[in-house]
Amino acid sequence: MIAKPVALTRALSLAVAFGFATHAAAESLPPEPLDISLEDLLRVEVTSASRKSERLHDVAAAVYVISREDIERSGATSIPEALRMAPGVDVARLANNRWAVSIRGFNNRFGNKLLVLMDGRSIYSPIFSGVLWENEDTLLEDIDRIEVIRGPGAAMWGANAVNGVINIITRRPRDTQGNLLVAGAGSEERAFASFRHGGQAGDGHYRVWGKAFDRDEAVSGDARSGNDYWRSGRVGFRGDWSVASGQRVMLSGQAYSNDTGDRWQIPDITARQGVRLTDMKQTGKGAHLLGRSEWTLNDGSEAALQAYVDYSEIEVPGAFKEERTTIDMDFQHRLLVGERHDVLWGLGYRYSGDRIGSAGFIKFQPDSRSFNLASTFIQDDITLLPNTLRMILGVRFETNNFTGYQPLPNARLMWTPSDTQSVWGSVARAVRTPSRGELDATIDVSVLPPGAPGNPSSFPILTRNVRSDDSLDNETVIAYELGYRQRLASNLSLDVAAFYNQYGDLRSAMLAARSFEFSPPPPHIVQTTTPDNSIEAHTHGVEIAVDWSPLSWWRIQPIYSYLSLNSSSTSGDQLSVANTRIFNSSDPQHQWSLRSSMSLADRQQFDFWLRYVSKLGDRNSQLAIPAYTTLDLRYAWRPTRDLELSVVGQNLLDSQHPEFVPSLLPGEALEIQRGVYLKANWQF
Amino acid sequence: MNSPPPRWLAALLAIAAVVATSSTLAQSSLTESQAKAAFVINFARYIEWPERVFANGTAPLLICALGRSAVGNALEAHAGRQVQGRPISVRQLLGIDDARPCQVLFIADSEERRISQLLRAVAAQPILTVSDAEAFIDVGGAIGLVRADQRLQFEVNRQALEQAQLRASSNLLKLARNLADFKGKN
């Protein structure tokens, strides 16, 4: 169905949308519906208890859905901030314009084991193998839901869906008719404004929108401003049309321009400390156009064809500039075979070509390269016992011009002993392909000045990571998962998932040749390192999500995530061992959060969100971050049906706190400050 | 790293607690399922079925529900009431094969992934299909319930009504948000 973007038709073959209120039992007798006219019914406000639990009941995977209402009531102003609502997700804000986001471990600014799609378009960057969150955005009011699928999704979604898949799905234009104006201002969210217009055209609906904002800078530990300003402008559109004979067509596009500031520690042999703290400016520009068509065949089966072209440009003057063009095509066909087989199969092709100019301490070689990926997948959702037992077998075959052919299999079992309980299990294999940066970049990583610990010589030692010459392999994971869901009462649901993952061939590096160089002066030692796949790891963990509506106007959503990660070096190389320490200290072991949403009298809402994240790293390690607890509050009031005013306070429990120390592209660990903003949301 | 919470925060929380406890819920609002059931019953008032589907002038109007949802239960609460001079009878179906005698078929959104198949099974029969599944009318359903913020709205597929030999009154059509004269707000 056209309005359901790829995600829905694909999401592990099961629709993952929110359910609806089910706490009828707790209510008094239903009002006489025949006494309520249709006109009045259209005006009645409905309350929702456990919106999500209903449909999630049927999904044989660890899925959490962040609904539009959740986003609105969280007060989040960006997609990564909204992702903090899902269990198993680790979101750390490095600066006001930078995030590290991962699922089930290995967090990093470029969380490379996580695939993110927006309306069916991958926003995973092949140069960094990760998502540049500062460049990805949309009108938050247009997001219908964010489906967060923990665990490998490679059989369905392809390589790099190692630890999870995030689907950001926007609303149908039919649901965003009329005009919307959002504007606000605050201390950290200095100023923001969005506009949307939705209308009808022919046999369909469209919307056009634009947004712009200016965000304040964070501070470093010693109270200097962080040079992490962020100014962004973005426009977009989406149109959905029904054409003849039940065929549906969707067309969407976006263009953006982003200025963000950053502060890098650039290695410098002439600097006394070995680094030059340099203010950088990063500009991002991009645009994409996506078309999708869905239709029902004569035999009742459904087919979908999607294609998009995406252009993006990232420039950091004095360091590098990347221009990238991506063309992606995808076909899917879903049919019922007999009574018991729900089969989904598909074909995909992607071309991604770049041109990279680099200067200074980063050098890409060659400066232009293209990545071609062809894939096919098939999945069979087999009903073993009607309404009770299902088995889902899937496999994807993928081939690319970097690391060749890969099979990505997955088997799942779903047992639904009753209407209120379900148990599922899964075994899957997934891979991550090396990024363009890992394959082709030569980077000066650090300088040890003479006399520093580890450098007894009287010359600076420059560590240089040289390009891999395509010797890098895929990283692999074998993942085992088990999940349980129960609706304990009509207003209370529980979702538990546990996992054990084994990783092999994780990317690391080893010490290689050492040489003495006279130029550029001063004379220095160059210690080269070469990338390899010398780390293995295993993780295990549990995630718990509860959704409870103790009263018809009050909803509470606690979540808890536990993660244990152990990595070890297979080479014993000094550098490889050092990298295991980075892996071992990148993720909090415990995270919990409690969200409360109250719908009060006179169209008022009062919400709070309390979060705890346990420490990162050992106390004395460079990557150490102390545990923190933070609180966001939101109060909203609708003086009229079409106008909402709200005030949101974020990170209220301390004046500032750090969340992550960047280990890749080393920068400063900035601290996130308390902030308050006011917002008006007007529909007309 | 955590400095103690500022005093104004404690004050704010206290105020919030007072607001929360003192303000009882304003409207005696319906749950979403109750509202959906009310819509379904109301739709039946505006639809004209071919005479032949009823055994006689007082035969009940049969409303059926398929799929896992609380709407089925909410519908049952209305059994026995009168619509178009006929008593309402409600039945929760186990499979689509039992849908033949129904005049109204509510398909819960739990059945979303097989909606096309379900609709094919009742194609061309004088059954009013209603669902809260996403994009229901796009795949050939007659009336789709959609949620818009805190309210529910509905969309009508006139072609589907025609194929089911059902006539809808203009009072129904003009309230559907997808039809031409719709000039409402989101």
- pLDDT(B112) > 90: no
For residues A145 and A167, what is the distance between their CA atoms, to the nearest angstrom? Answer: 8
Distance of residue A417 Cα from the nearest chain B Cα, in angstroms = 14
Q: Which residue has the tokens 């046999």?
A: A203
* Nearest by CB: B134 against A3, A246, A553: A3
B49, B83 in Cβ contact below 8 A? Answer: no
A547, A557 in Cβ contact below 8 A? Answer: yes
For residues A123 and A529, what is the distance between their CA atoms, to the nearest angstrom? Answer: 30
Kindly state the DSSP code that residue A667 receives in the 8-state scheme.
B
Residue B19 confidence (pLDDT): 55
Residue A487 confidence (pLDDT): 84
CA end-to-end distance (rounded Å), chain A: 29
- A123's enclosing H/E stretch is none
Residue B183 confidence (pLDDT): 39
A341, A381 in Cβ contact below 8 A? Answer: yes
Q: When comparing pLDDT for A388 and A396, which is higher?
A: A396
Partners of residue B46 in chain A, C-beta under 8 Å: 38
Give helix then strand counts, H and E, for chain B: 6, 10
Out of A40-54, A498-512, B141-155, B172-186, pick the least confident. Answer: A40-54
- pLDDT(A29) > 90: no
A95, A226 in Cβ contact below 8 A? Answer: yes
Bond before A522 cis per omega within 30 degrees: yes
pLDDT per residue as tens digits for the range A481-504:
999 999 888 788 899 999 999 999
- pLDDT(A605) > 90: yes
β strands within A268-319, DSSP E: 275-296, 302-316
Contact A2 B135 (CB under 8 A): yes
pLDDT band at A387 (very low <50, low <70, confident <90, very high): confident
Residue A15 confidence (pLDDT): 30
- pLDDT(A94) > 70: yes
Hey, what long-range contacts does A381-385 have (CB within 8 A, 24 or more apart)?
A381/A13, A381/A14, A381/A341, A381/A342, A381/A343, A381/A344, A382/A340, A382/A341, A382/A342, A383/A339, A383/A340, A383/A341, A383/A342, A384/A340
- Closest-CA residue of B relative to A302 is B116
Residue B61 confidence (pLDDT): 93
Amino acid at position A516, single letter: F
pLDDT per residue as tens digits for the range B165-184:
999 998 899 889 887 554 33
Residue B146 confidence (pLDDT): 87
Kindly state the DSSP code that residue A577 receives in the 8-state scheme.
H
Three-state secondary-structure class, residue A125: strand
CB atoms < 10 A from the CB of A68, how many?
Answer: 21
Amino acid at position A270, single letter: T
| Percent of chain A at pLDDT exceeding 90 | 62
- A80's enclosing H/E stretch is helix A79-83
Q: DSSP assignment of A3-58, as one string? A: TS-HHHHHGGGS---------GGGS-SPP-TTTS-HHHHTT--EE-S-TTHHHHTT
Three-state secondary-structure class, residue A658: strand
Contact A33 B38 (CB under 8 A): yes
- List of domains in chain B: 32-173 (3.40.50)
Contact A246 B140 (CB under 8 A): yes
For residues A649 and A214, what is the distance between their CA atoms, to the nearest angstrom? Answer: 18
Contact A47 B3 (CB under 8 A): no
- The token pair that represents B122 in the structure block: 């009742």
Average pLDDT of every residue of chain A: 88
Contact B31 A27 (CB under 8 A): yes
Q: DSSP assignment of B149-168, as one string? A: TTEEEEEE-HHHHHHTT-EE
**HEC profile of A424-449:** EEEEEEEEECCCHHHHHEEEEEEEEC
- The token pair that represents A441 in the structure block: 């970049």
Residue A87 confidence (pLDDT): 97
Measure CA A105 to chain center.
Answer: 13
* Nearest by CB: B19 against A2, A198, A606: A606
Interacting residues of A660 by C-beta distance below 8 A, sequence separation 6+: A92, A93, A94, A100, A107, A109, A616, A625, A669
Interacting residues of A530 by C-beta distance below 8 A, sequence separation 6+: A465, A466, A468, A471, A509, A510, A512
Q: When comparing pLDDT for A41 and A651, which is higher?
A: A651
Distance of residue A237 Cα from the nearest chain B Cα, in angstroms = 17
Q: When comparing pLDDT for A680 and B151, which is higher?
A: A680
pLDDT per residue as tens digits for the range A298-313:
777 888 999 999 999 9
Kindly state the DSSP code that residue A538 receives in the 8-state scheme.
E
- List of domains in chain A: 6-683 (2.40.170.20)
- The token pair that represents A350 in the structure block: 């992607």
Distance of residue B177 Cα from the nearest chain A Cα, in angstroms = 9
Buried b (16+ CB within 10 A) or exposed e, A203-241: ebbbbbbbbebbbbbbbbeeeeebbbbbbbebbbbbbbb
Which alpha helices (DSSP H) does A406-561 contain, by range? 436-440
For residues A11 and A61, what is the distance between their CA atoms, to the nearest angstrom? Answer: 9
Interacting residues of A351 by C-beta distance below 8 A, sequence separation 6+: A325, A326, A327, A328, A370, A371, A372, A373
For residues B172 and B157, what is the distance between their CA atoms, to the nearest angstrom? Answer: 12
Contact B23 A602 (CB under 8 A): yes
Q: When comparing pLDDT for B169 and A560, which is higher?
A: A560
Residue B171 confidence (pLDDT): 87
Kindly state the DSSP code that residue A132 receives in the 8-state scheme.
-
- pLDDT(B126) > 70: yes
Measure CA A145 to chain center.
Answer: 13
- A414's enclosing H/E stretch is strand A404-418
Interface predicted TM-score (ipTM) of this complex, two decimals: 0.77
pTM: 0.84
| For testing contact with chain A, the best of B113, B146, B151 (most A CBs within 10 A) | B113
**HEC profile of B25-65:** CCCCCEEHHHHHHHHHHHHHHCEECCHHHCCCCCCCEEEEE
Contact A42 B153 (CB under 8 A): yes
CA end-to-end distance (rounded Å), chain B: 45
Q: Which residue has the tokens 């092999």?
A: A504
Partners of residue A485 in chain B, C-beta under 8 Å: none
Kindly state the DSSP code that residue B81 receives in the 8-state scheme.
-
Distance of residue A580 Cα from the nearest chain B Cα, in angstroms = 26
- pLDDT(A57) > 70: no
* Nearest by CB: B23 against A22, A45, A601: A601
Give bridge partners of residue A18 from the DSSP assignment: none
Three-state secondary-structure class, residue B13: helix
- pLDDT(A615) > 60: yes
For residues B33 and B40, what is the distance between their CA atoms, to the nearest angstrom? Answer: 11
Read off the pLDDT of each residue in A320-341 and give the average, rounded to a whole number: 91
Contact B186 A642 (CB under 8 A): no
Residue B16 confidence (pLDDT): 59
* Nearest by CB: A24 against B1, B74, B148: B74
Contact A42 B151 (CB under 8 A): yes
* Nearest by CB: B116 against A177, A302, A419: A302
Length of chain A: 684
Sheet holding B143-148, edge to edge: B82-83, B86-93, B61-66, B104-107, B128-131, B143-148, B151-156
| For testing contact with chain A, the best of B3, B150, B172, B182 (most A CBs within 10 A) | B150
Three-state secondary-structure class, residue A584: helix
CA dist list (Å): B161 to A248, B49, B54, B124: 19, 10, 18, 9
pLDDT per residue as tens digits for the range A245-296:
668 899 999 999 999 998 888 899 999 888 888 899 999 999 999 999 988 7
| Percent of chain B at pLDDT exceeding 70 | 79
* Nearest by CB: A652 against B9, B171, B186: B9
* Nearest by CB: B178 against A45, A174, A552: A174
- Any idea of the CA torsion for A32, A37, A40, A45, to the nearest 10 degrees? 40
Give bridge partners of residue A197 from the DSSP assignment: A179, A208
For residues B31 and A406, what is the distance between their CA atoms, to the nearest angstrom? Answer: 49
Cα-based angle A561, A564, A567 (whole degrees, multiple of 5):
145
Q: When comparing pLDDT for B111 and A524, which is higher?
A: A524
Read off the pLDDT of each residue in A559-564 and give the average, rounded to a whole number: 98
Buried b (16+ CB within 10 A) or exposed e, A577-601: bebbbbbbbbbbeebbbbbbbbbbe
